[in-house]
Structure 1
Amino acid sequence: MPAGVAPVGGSGRRGTIAGVSDLSAAFVRLHASLSPVAFVPEVRLHQADDAIGLWELTEGEFRSAQPPPFWAFAWAGGQALARYVTDHPELVAGRRVLDLAAGSGLVAIAAARAGAAAVRAVEIDELAVAAVAVNAEANGVRVDAELGDVLDGDAGGAEVVLAGDVFYSQAMANRVLRFLLRAARSGARVLVGDPGRAFLPHDRFDELAVYDVPVPETLESVRVKRTTVWQLRAGLPGAGR
C-alpha cells in the first residue's frame, strides 16, 4: 500500500483514504455525531449540530481559511441525488462511479449501497476526505476517498459521474461544467443534484426528479428546499474545452 494511503472499513468492505492524516479522521469522529440523513435515512453520516462552532474548531486546529466545513452537513443537492440513486439502483449497479466534490460522501455511499462496482469520491478538503472514509465505514460499504482537484482532468474511466450542489459560484460552475461535459463526451452518464443555486446552466440539463428536501435552517435559512436531480445532455458544443 502506498505511503499516505490508509485502509478503512470492515472485512470485505475495505476502501482507501489517499493523502489524509489520522488526525483528520479522529477530528471528524470527535466533532460530528453519527445519525441518519433526513431525506435518505438508509444512510448514516457524521453530522454536526453547530455550523459556526465547528467552523471555529476547524480554523483553530487546522488554520484553515475555507468556508464552514461542508463535509459535516447533508446538503440538499446531495440528499436529492442520494435519494434518486437509492430509488433507482439500476443507474449505478455494476458500474464505476465518481462522486465529484463529495463532501460527507453521502452520494458515494448511496451509490455503493446501490451496487456500484467501484466508487471513487474526490474532495479538495482533507477533512472531507476523512469524513467520506469514516462515513463509508459506518455504513459498511467500500468507497475510495481521494484528496485533490480533478477538475482540469478527466473522470478517470467512470461510467457514472454524480455531483451534488456544485453550482454555488460562477467560478466553480464554469470549471465543473467543463469537467462534466468532458466526462459525458467520454461516455459517462452525468447526474447533478441542485437546490436552485444561481449558477446552474439549465439549458445544458434535463430534469429527472424534483424533491422537497429537509435542510439545516442555520445554513439555508429555511427548513425545506425544493431540489432537482438533473441529467447532463451529452454531445453539446464546447464539451471538450
Structure 2
Amino acid sequence: MSGAADFLRAHTAVARPPLVPEIPLHLATEITPIWQATEAWLAREGIEPPFWAFAWPGSQAMARLILDQPTKVAGRRVLDFAAGCGLAAIAAARAGAMLVEAAEIDPLAIAAIRLNAALNGVAVTALDGDVVGAPCRWDLILAGDVCYEAPMTAHILPWLRAMAATGAEVWLADPGRAYVPREGLAEIARFAVPVTRELEDREMRAVTISRLLP
C-alpha cells in the first residue's frame, strides 16, 4: 500500500513494550487519535481498531518467553498468526528461528510488521491475507491474544487445532479474553504484563501461554 510506511511513521513513535524492552517498535500512545487518523487516511469509517499500533499483552508475553528460552524456537519455521505489530515474530527471528512469517489481514499491519522488522534488523516475511485453511508448513505457530470475539475464535480455532494435529506446535497466549477454549490446552508459562487503561480495564494483565492440543 503506497504511503503506508510514511503514515505509520507520522502517527506513531518508537517505543519499547514494558515486558520486552529489548525490542523497539513503532507504536501509538492513544487509540482514538490513531483510529481517527486511520479512518481518514483510508477514507472510510467503521474500520477495525488499529491493532497493529499497540503491543498487546499476549504478544508481549509470547515475545518474553521466546527471548528467555530461545532454544524453543531456534532453527524452527515459525508463523506469527494475526501478528499485529509483529512483536512475537521479531522475537522469534532474534532467537534464531530458521524462517519467520507473520500473517495479517490488515494492510497497515503488514506495513507495520515490515517497518518494525527493519527497525530491529531481522528478517520477517509478512503474509498479506487470511492464512486460515492453508496447509501447514511451520514447526511452530504463535497465536497471541486472538480469542477476543466469538466469530474470530470460531473461524481460527478449528484450523489451529488441525495444524496441531498435523504436527505443528501451536502456542496460544491468553490475557483473560472471553472466548479462549477451556479444554485442550497445556500450560507452558504465565506472565504479568503491565498494560494501559487506554486499552484495558486494569493496569496489569495475567497472561497464560498454553500449547494447543489437537
Tell me the TM-score normalised to structure 2 length.
0.96
Give the Cα separation in 1 of the matches to 2:181 and 2:98: 30
Kindly indicate whether residue 61 of structure 2 is the aligned counterpart of residue 77 of structure 1: no
Give 1:128's match in structure 2, choosing from 95, 103, 109.
109
Partner Cα separation in structure 1 for residue 98 and residue 131 of structure 2: 21
The percentage of counterpart residues that share the same residue type is: 46
**Correspondences of 1:120-199 after superposition (within 5 Å):** 120-155=101-136, 157-199=137-179
Residues 1:217 and 2:197 aligned together: yes
Contact 1:209 1:230 (8 Å CA) reproduced: yes
Structure 2 residue 76 is matched with structure 1 residue 95: yes
RMSD of aligned Cα (Å): 1.1
Question: 5+ residue gaps in structure 1?
Answer: 1-20, 235-241
Which amino acid in the other structure matches residue 129 of structure 1? I
Give the deviation of 1:64 after TM superposition: 5.1
Q: How far apart, in 1, do the equivalents of 2:113 and 2:198 lie?
A: 23
Match of 2:8 among 10, 25, 28: 28
AA aligned to 2:119 is A
How big is the shift at 1:187? 1.1
- Residue identity matched to 2:189: A
Partner of 1:229: 209
Task: State the alpha-carbon separation in 2 of the partners of residues 143 and 125 from structure 1.
Answer: 16
Query: Offset at 1:33?
Result: 0.6
Instruction: Identify the match of residue 200 of structure 1 among 175, 180, 198.
Output: 180
Deviation at residue 111 of structure 1 after TM alignment: 0.4
Matched ranges for 1:9-24 at <5 A: 21-24=1-4
Report how far residue 133 of structure 1 moved.
0.4
Query: How far is 1:23 from its partner?
Result: 1.0
- Offset from partner CA, 1:130-177 (integer Å, 9 cap, x none): 00000000011000012101112233x111000110000111111211
**Which residue of structure 2 lines up, in the alignment, with residue 8 of structure 1?**
none
Structure 2 gap segments, 5+ residues each: none
State the one-letter code of the partner of 1:90: T
Aligned residues: 213
SS at match of 1:196: coil
CA distance in 1: counterparts of 2:135 and 2:104, whole angstroms: 15
Q: CA deviation at 1:179?
A: 1.4
